[in-house]
Amino acid sequence: MTDTLTLTSPAKLNLFLHINGRRADGYHNLQTLFQLLDTGDQLTFRARQDDTITIAPDLPGVAPTENLIYRAAIALQANMEARGLPQMGADIHLDKRLPMGGGIGGGSSNAATTLIGLNHLWRAGSSRKALMEIGRTLGADVPVFVQGQSAWAEGIGEQLTPMLLPEKWFLVLCPDCHVSTREVFCHKDLTRDTRPIKVAAFSQGGSQNDCQSLVRSLYKEVDKALIWLKKFSNHARMTGTGACVFAAFDSAAKAEQVFAQRPAGMTGFIGRGINKAPYYNLIPD
């Protein structure tokens, strides 16, 4: 076993997102289908013999101790301490490729990849389930990335059923605006009373993103991107609480052909849907 490890931290899309109600603690019960993508950030972990955690480079607008990578490393250290295991540290390099705050889960994915990578490097011996529990304390979307499989999710996103989805090619557009997840969930006009559906209803086309109409009305950039993408796909949709929007295609060539025609100044990427994250086999079940 070496003391350096490089992992891809994948993006996700919410193929649909239904909000079924608000809980007493303010969080929302939802149903969603998480599709993992092969596109992601690159994280390199180098083990240290002392207990220091360093992360380079800094993320613009994120205090070093608020970086989800740091918070994940500290949470794993605390868990190891509670289990009487020796403390170790790490120098972590982040090659950030995914846009932040776009509803593609980059921060949550970075946290999950850190838990998995450091669990391996530090020989912490935690199970997938135990790491998912730690992940839950860091954010609603972290457990699905720790589980490392495309999945149907309920509850606040933590009740997960792995799904085998067709591995399509997704064109993702990233409108130039930052949508706060919290702002959307707190908004008085958010649709939050969608009736729960069964998994099969999704494949019959009975689904939507309940945040989409609200976010379109608040952010004209999202509205414009969706209007444009709908010219090429009837199923173009927003992911999570936005701002990114996506459409699925049967081939890379078709996705690239559409992407090449994108409006001037519009950024985005093409990613292949994957059913398992690249680091899936790093943790024993």
Ligand X SMILES: Nc1ncnc2c1ncn2[C@@H]1O[C@H](COP(=O)(O)OP(=O)(O)O)[C@@H](O)[C@H]1O
Binding-site residues from annotation for ATP: 99-109
Largest pairwise CA distance in the chain: 58
Pairing of strands 151-154, 159-162: antiparallel
Q: In whole angstroms, how far apart are CA 101 and each of 107, 240, 254?
A: 8, 10, 27
Q: Is 141 tagged catalytic?
A: yes
Enter the tokens of residue 277.
Answer: 């994250």
Q: Give residues 13-42 in contact with ligand SUD (rule: CB under 6 A).
A: 14, 17, 26-28, 30, 32
Enter the tokens of residue 162.
Answer: 């792995």
Residue 130 binds ligand SUD (CB under 6 A): no
Q: Give residues 167-196 in contact with ligand X (rule: CB under 6 A).
A: 181
Nearer to ligand SUD, 181 or 191 (CB): 181
Residue 241 binds ligand SUD (CB under 6 A): yes
Enter the tokens of residue 269.
Answer: 């990427």
Closest CA to 144 of 129, 127, 132: 132
Distance CA(116)–CA(146), nearest Å, equals 7
Q: Give residues 73-132 in contact with ligand X (rule: CB under 6 A).
A: 100-108, 110
Shortest distance, CB of residue 203 to ligand X, whole angstroms?
25
Shortest distance, CB of residue 66 to ligand SUD, whole angstroms?
12
CB 96 within 8 A of CB 55: no
Distance CA(243)–CA(83), nearest Å, equals 40
Q: Which does 237 bind (CB under 5 to 8 A by kind): ligand X, ligand SUD, none?
A: none
Distance CA(98)–CA(83), nearest Å, equals 34
Residue 149 binds ligand X (CB under 6 A): no
Among 12, 41, 210, 223, the one annotated catalytic:
12
Among 89, 106, 139, 175, binds ligand SUD (CB under 6 A): 139
> So which residues are the catalytic ones?
12, 141
List of residues contacting ligand X (CB under 6 A): 59, 62, 66-69, 100-108, 110, 181, 240
List of residues contacting ligand SUD (CB under 6 A): 14, 17, 26-28, 30, 32, 103, 105, 108, 139-141, 156-157, 181-182, 185, 240-241
